[in-house]
Amino acid sequence: ETERTLAMIKPDGLSGNYTEKIKVAILDYGFHIVKETEVQLDDERASLFYAEHSGRSFFGSLIKYITSGPVLAMVLERPDAIAQWRALIGPTDARKAKTSHPNSIRAMCGLDSEKNCVHGSDSPESAAREISFFFGD
């Protein structure tokens, strides 16, 4: 059954000119890119997007990273989109991705557990919230 998820190319992905390569990987994997928007998040919007991580030690660093340049948010659609996008991007830690998931997007353009190039919603609830965060209802 068709499903939608929120994908985001982070500032390191955009500044490293990985957008086109990532889009090719997305389309090759059978996704349809339904909507996209490039935006510069400020501290307040970034903190809202990542509110669930606000108690973590890396939160300040995460907000600095995600506001360091524009991000590209996309709504992706295909059957089982949430799980399939997370499979395509690979593990959070891009160093792990490079060894255990060499064909993943994070292996291609990520650096470590913070600068991991892309984001994907982790549940239907997150997908709904994150899609309306960027695109409204």
Question: Which range in 12-20, 37-45, 110-118, 129-137 contacts ligand CMP by CB under 6 A?
Answer: 110-118
Residue of 19, 68, 92, 126 that binds ligand CMP (CB under 6 A): 92
119 is catalytic: yes
Read off the tokens for 101: 């998931």
Smallest separation, CB 18 to ligand CMP (Å): 15
How far is residue 14's CA from residue 78's CA, in Å, rounded to a whole number?
Answer: 24
| Residue 4 vs 66, nearer CB to ligand CMP | 66
Site string for ligand CMP, 37-76 (x = CB under 6 A): ----------------x----x---x--------------
Helices (H), 68-112: 81-89, 94-100, 105-109
Of the chain, the end-to-end C-alpha distance in Å amounts to: 21
- Is 113 an interacting residue with respect to ligand CMP (CB under 6 A)? yes
Q: Please count the helices (runs of H) and the strands (runs of E) in the chain.
A: 8, 4
Smallest separation, CB 78 to ligand CMP (Å): 19
Q: β-strand 118-120 against 2-9: which pairing, if any?
A: antiparallel
Measured torsion, CA atoms of residues 100, 125, 128, 22, in degrees rounded to the nearest 10 = 0
Smallest separation, CB 59 to ligand CMP (Å): 8
Positions touching ligand CMP (CB under 6 A) are 53, 58, 62, 92, 113-114, 116, 119
Catalytic residue numbers read: 119
